Structure 1
Amino acid sequence: MDAQTVLLAIIPPLLAISLAIITKQVILSLFLAIFVGATMLNSENVWTGLFDTFFTFILPGFENVDHQRMICFCAFCSGLSLMLERGGGAEAFATTLTKNVVKTRRGGQLVTWLGGVAIWFSDSTNPVLIGPIFRNITDKLRISREKLAYIVDSTTAAVPTLFTLSAWGAYIIGIIETSYQELSYNGNPTSDFLAGVPYQYYTIGSIVMVLIIAITGWDYGPMKRAEDRALKTGKLVEDGAEVRSHTEKRELPAGAKPSIWNMIIPLVVLIILIFVGMAYTGDAATNGFVGALAAGSSLKSLVIAFFITAIVAGALAIRSKVMNFKEAVSTFIEGCCSMMEVLIIMMLAWGIGSVCSACGTSDFIVQVSENLLTPATMCIIIFVAACLTSFSTGSSWSVFAIFTPIAISMALAIDAPVGMAIGVVLSGGIFGDHCSPISDTTVLSSVGSSCNHIDHVKTQLPYALTVASAAFVGYLITGFIGGNGFIGLAITLILICIISFTLNRQFGRKKQTV
C-alpha cells in the first residue's frame, strides 16, 4: 500500500476530529474535512473538489430514505420536547421527583440512568427524550450538563444492541443472515446474536460504568472539573459555552395549573404508539407481534409517534391553561426549527462518512487488521480495528456491515465461536458511536442534554477510554483461554472498577458528595 493511499484514507477523518476538538466548530470542521477529502479524490483540483463536496457527498445524503425519516423524526422530537418543557410537564415532573423521591445528586444520576436503560428500543429516541425529561431534575440537583449528556449517551446506542427486538437488533441479525448465506454456513442468526451478547465487553461495560460512577462518585479528568463547577458555583455549563436547543425558563401565565400528568400521559402515549407503529409496519398479522417488532420500521414508527404525541402534549397544555391553541402550534414549530443546526451537523456527518468510504478509510483499517489476525489475538485485533473505524467515521452501523462478515469468516476459519466474533464487532462499533464527535448519537446527546457538544466529547472520552482499555484486556485474556465470554466480561467489569477508583484517587474529588 503506497503512502498516497494511506494519506487519502486517514486525512479526512483525522482532520474532522482534530479540527472539531481544537476549534470547537463542528460544522466548519466537518465541512473542511469533506472538502479536503473531495479535493484529494480529484487530484487536488480545488474547484472540482468544491463541486463534489456538495453534489457528491453532502446533498445525496438527503436521497437516503432513512436519512429523510431521521430529519423528520428529529424535528418532531424537538417540537415535542419544547412542548413538554413549556407546557409545564417537565418542570412538574422534576419538582415531584426531587421533592418526594430523588433528593441527592447520586439519586438524580441513578434515576437518569434507569430512564436511559428503560428506553431501549431506539438510539435516536433516547438522547432527545431522556435528556429533556431529566434535565430539570439534574439541574435542580446541580449535576453538570456534561454528566447528564454522558449518562444519556452511554445508554443511547449501547442498550439497543443487547436486544433482538430493537431496530439495531433487527439490522444486525439481517447482516448476520446475509453473511451466512454468502459463506454457505448453516447457522441461526438470532441465536448467534444472543450468544454474542456476553462478548459485548465495551457495550455492557459502558452501561455498568455509569452506574458505578453514579453510586460511588468516582469522577476524574474533565468530568471531575465540570461536576465541581456545577456543585460549587451552580454553573451547569462552562462560561461562554455554546449550547444548542437551550430554552429559557418562562413564567407560567395566571391561572395555569400544569401537573405531572402533563409529562406522564404524553410519555405513555408515545411508548404505546411506538410499539403500535412497529407492529403495524412489521405486519403483525403475518409475523406475529414479536416478529413484527423485529421486522418493523422504527423510524416510521417514531415519526408518527412523536407527531401524535406532540398533539396530545399540546392539548394537555391548552387544557391546563398554560398556552392557547396558537401558542401551542407556535411552540411546536419553534421546537422543530431549533433543530436546524443539529440537522446540518447530521447532514455533514453523513457526508464525512461518504468521503471516508470513497477514500477507503474502512478498507485501509480492515486490510491492516487482517494481516495481524491469529486465533489468540483475533478478539483484540477486530475490537481495535472496529473502534478506530467507528471513531473515525462516527458510524457504528457501517462498522457492523463491514466487519461482521469478516469476523464471521475468520471465526469459522480458525474454529472460534461465531457468537464471540459478532459480539466483538458490535462492541467495537459502539465505541465510536459512543464518543466520536462526528457521531449523530453523540450530537443528539449533547442537544438533548443542552450541553456544549465538544465539552460533552471531552468529558466523556476519558470514561469511554477507561472502558475500552478494560475491554481490551478482557478480549486479550478471552483469546488465550479459548473464548469464555463470561470470564472475559467479569474481568472487564472488575478492571473498570479498579481503573475508575485509581484515577479518582489520583485526579478526582477527595470526598464524595451525595
Structure 2
Amino acid sequence: MSSNNTLALVIAILGLIAAIFVGNSVNKTWLEQSYVYDTYQTDSGNHAYIYKGKEVLIATIVPYQQSPLRQENLNRLTEDPLLEQQWVKDSAHKITLLRPAFHFGFWSLLPAFITIALCLLTREPLTSLFSGIVVGSLMLGQYDLTDAVIIPNLAKEGTAALLLLYLWLLGGLLGIWSKTGAAQAFANYMTQHYVRGPRSAKVISWLLGILFFQGGTMSTVLVGTTVRPLADKANVSHEEMSYIVDSTASPIATIIAFNAWPAYVQALIFVPGVSFLATETDRLNFFFSSIPFSFYAIFAVLGTLLLSLNITTFSGKRIRAAHQRALSSGQLDAEGARPLSAKELQRCDVPSGYKPHVLEFILPLVTLIAIAVFTFIFLGSPKINWAFGTALLLSAGIALAKGMSLTNLIDGFGNGLKGVVLASVILMLAVIIGSISKEIGGGLYLVSQLGEQLPFWILPFILQLITMVIAFSTGTSWGTYAIAFPLAMPLAWAVCQSQGLENPEIYMMVCFATVLNGSVFGDQCSPISDTTILSAMTTGCDLMDHVKSQLVPATFAATFAACLWTLTVYLFA
C-alpha cells in the first residue's frame, strides 16, 4: 500500500471516530434563518406568493415576537425545534418565512474536509465521496445509509432529473453520435474549414463557452460535448479543454446575466431599511449594476482566452506541461490518468456501409440549443430534458432513416450509457454530500464567525474567502448563495452604518459581487461539484487532473479580484 493510501486510510478512520463523537456529544448551535418572498393578498384576503409559476397560499402568519423560531428562543433550545418553518410579520408589517438551521461549530466542516482530503490523496472520487457521506450521516445520527440517506436524496426531484439527463439522455446521445460517426464527421468538417491547429480549436471552444451563457451544467455539457471531437483531432490536451469548458460556464453567466441567476439571487438579498433593495425590481437592477464588479468572473474568462491563444503565463505548471505533452507526443492525458469518459465513447464503431455526415451532429445540436433558448425565453427557465430528449430522438431518427439497423442503434445507445455510468454515480454522490454538508451547517458556521467590528475594507475579502470555502466544500454555488447572501448582505449594511461610509451602495455592490464570485470560484474548483465532474466527463479528462490543473489559474484570477475589490472599497466607498 502506498504512503498516500495509508494516510488516506488513517484520515478516513479518524473521520469516522470523530463523526460518532460529534453525533453523540456535540450540541447543535441553532440559528434563525429568514427568507423574503414577494407576497401579495388574494381576492379572498389571504396572503400568497408565486413559486415555480404556481400560487401558494400562506395559511397562518404570527407576530415575529411570538415565534418560537426567532433567535432569542432558539438560543434556549435543548432539543430540536418543534416547527420546521413559520411565517411571521414584523412591526413594519413585513412578511418573512423563518426556518431554523444549525451547525456543530468547526466540526461542521468535517465531511467536506474528509472528502476533499481523500480525493487529493487517492485520486479516487468514488470512495472519497462515499466516505464523506458516511461521516456526515454519522454526525447526523443516521446510521441507515441506504434508507435514511441515499434513497431519500436520490428520490428528490432535482436528483432524479440529473440522473435522467446525464445517464439516459446525455449518455445515449453521445453513444449514438459515436455509433453513427457524427462526432468524428463534425471534427473532420471543422478541421477542414475552421480549425488549423490546437490554438484555433481552443479559441472556438472559448467562443462557444461565451455563446452558451446560461451557466452551470447546461453550458458545461453543451460546450464539452460539442468541442471534444474537434479538440481531440487537433491534439489539445484534455486538461486544457476541461479548464476552458469549466471556466467559461458559471463565470460567463455572472457577466452576461440574461439567465435564471438574477431571479434566483434577488430573492436572497433583501435587507430591511435599504431603499435600493426594497422591491424585486430594485434588487434586479442592483444585480445588473454590480456586474462591472464581478472581477473574478471577468479574469476567469480572460484567463481562458489567454490560454486559448497559447499565452500560458497565468496557466500554471500543470497546464503548461499538458500543453507541451500534447504538442510533442500527441498524448492527450497524463501518464496514469483515468478519464471519466469510458472507452466506449472514445472510439467510433460505425457499422459497415454506413456513411456519417456532419449534419447528423449539427442538426441535433442546433435543435438542442434552440429548445433550451426558446423555452427559457417563453417559459422562464430552459427545459434541458426536453432539449436533450429531442436531440436524442432526432439523432436516432436520422440514423434509422439512413439505413442503420435498430440493433446497431440500440448497441450505440447502450455503449453511451456504459460510457457515462461511472461519472453519473460520482455525480449522484456529489449531490448527496452537498446536501449533507448544507444540513450540517458548515457554511452557516463560517459566516457566523464574522462580526460588525471588522475594518470595512477587509470585509469583501473575507466574504470572498468564506464563500470560496463553502462552495468548494459543498460543490454548489447556488447552495452557497442560499447560505451566504441572507447573512452577508445585512452584515455589509451594518458595517456601512456603523462606520459611516460615504458610498454605501457601491460598498454593498462590491460585497455582493464577492459573494457571487467567491461562490463561483469554489464551485468551479471543487472536486465534488457537478460542473467540475461534467467538465471532466464531457472532455474525457481525469477528474483530479482537471481539479489540480485549473486550481492555479483560477487562484490567480481570484487573487487579482481580491486586490481590486479591496482597492475599490478603500478608495470609493
| 1:469 corresponds to | 559
| SS of equivalent to 1:110 | helix
Separation in structure 1 between the aligned mates of residue 334 and residue 565 of structure 2, nearest angstrom: 37
| SS of equivalent to 2:485 | helix
More strand as a share of residues: 2
State yes or no: 1:440 paired with 2:534: no
Q: Does the Cα contact within 8 Å between 1:160 and 1:167 map onto a contact in 2? A: no
Q: Does the Cα contact within 8 Å between 2:443 and 2:484 map onto a contact in 1? A: no
| 1:243 corresponds to | 339
Q: Does the Cα contact within 8 Å between 2:297 and 2:517 map onto a contact in 1? A: yes
Separation in structure 1 between the aligned mates of residue 191 and residue 258 of structure 2, nearest angstrom: 33
1:341 aligns with one of 422, 429, 438: 422
Q: Does the Cα contact within 8 Å between 1:163 and 1:169 map onto a contact in 2? A: no
Which amino acid in the other structure matches residue 340 of structure 2? R
Of 85-94 and 56-65, deviating more is 56-65
Q: Which has the higher contact order (CA 8 A, sep 6+)?
A: 1
| 1:487 corresponds to | none
**Cα distance change, pair 171–330 in 1 and its aligned pair in 2 (3 A):** farther
State yes or no: 1:172 paired with 2:254: no
Q: CA deviation at 1:438?
A: 0.7
| SS of equivalent to 2:514 | helix
| SS of equivalent to 2:339 | coil
Q: Does the Cα contact within 8 Å between 1:127 and 1:444 map onto a contact in 2? A: yes
What is the TM-score with the length of structure 2 in the denominator? 0.75
Q: Does the Cα contact within 8 Å between 1:13 and 1:356 map onto a contact in 2? A: yes
Separation in structure 1 between the aligned mates of residue 260 and residue 150 of structure 2, nearest angstrom: 25
Superposition pairs of residues 212-291 of structure 1, within 5 angstroms: 212-218=306-312, 219-246=315-342, 247-279=345-377, 289=378
Q: CA deviation at 1:173?
A: 3.0
| 2:63 corresponds to | none
Q: Does the Cα contact within 8 Å between 2:179 and 2:351 map onto a contact in 1? A: no
Q: Does the Cα contact within 8 Å between 2:351 and 2:408 map onto a contact in 1? A: no
Q: CA deviation at 1:337?
A: 4.5
**Cα distance change, pair 394–370 in 1 and its aligned pair in 2 (3 A):** farther
State yes or no: 1:144 paired with 2:237: yes
**Cα distance change, pair 381–248 in 1 and its aligned pair in 2 (3 A):** closer
Separation in structure 2 between the aligned mates of residue 353 and residue 200 of structure 1, nearest angstrom: 25
Q: Residues 386-407 of structure 1, C-alpha deviation per residue, up to 9 Å, x if partnerless? A: 1111111111111111222223
1:384 aligns with one of 438, 462, 465: 465
Of 356-365 and 395-404, deviating more is 356-365
| 1:310 corresponds to | 392
Superposition pairs of residues 400-439 of structure 1, within 5 angstroms: 400-413=481-494, 414=496, 415-417=504-506, 418-439=508-529
RMSD after superposition:
2.4
| 2:82 corresponds to | none
| 2:154 corresponds to | 62
Separation in structure 1 between the aligned mates of residue 452 and residue 560 of structure 2, nearest angstrom: 24
What is the TM-score with the length of structure 1 in the denominator? 0.83
**Cα distance change, pair 7–410 in 1 and its aligned pair in 2 (3 A):** closer
| SS of equivalent to 2:298 | helix
Which amino acid in the other structure matches residue 304 of structure 1? W
Separation in structure 1 between the aligned mates of residue 528 and residue 346 of structure 2, nearest angstrom: 27
**Cα distance change, pair 108–164 in 1 and its aligned pair in 2 (3 A):** closer
Q: CA deviation at 1:90?
A: 1.6
Q: CA deviation at 1:174?
A: 3.4
Q: Residues 43-62 of structure 1, C-alpha deviation per residue, up to 9 Å, x if partnerless? A: xxxxxx542x4444433222
State yes or no: 1:33 paired with 2:127: no
Q: Residues 224-272 of structure 1, C-alpha deviation per residue, up to 9 Å, x if partnerless? A: 2222222211111123322222324235334322222111111111122
Superposition pairs of residues 96-135 of structure 1, within 5 angstroms: 96-135=189-228
Q: CA deviation at 1:437?
A: 0.5
Separation in structure 1 between the aligned mates of residue 346 and residue 376 of structure 2, nearest angstrom: 35
Q: Residues 73-113 of structure 1, C-alpha deviation per residue, up to 9 Å, x if partnerless? A: 21212211222233222212111221221112211110111
Percent of aligned pairs sharing the same letter? 28
Which has more radius of gyration? 2
| 1:200 corresponds to | 294
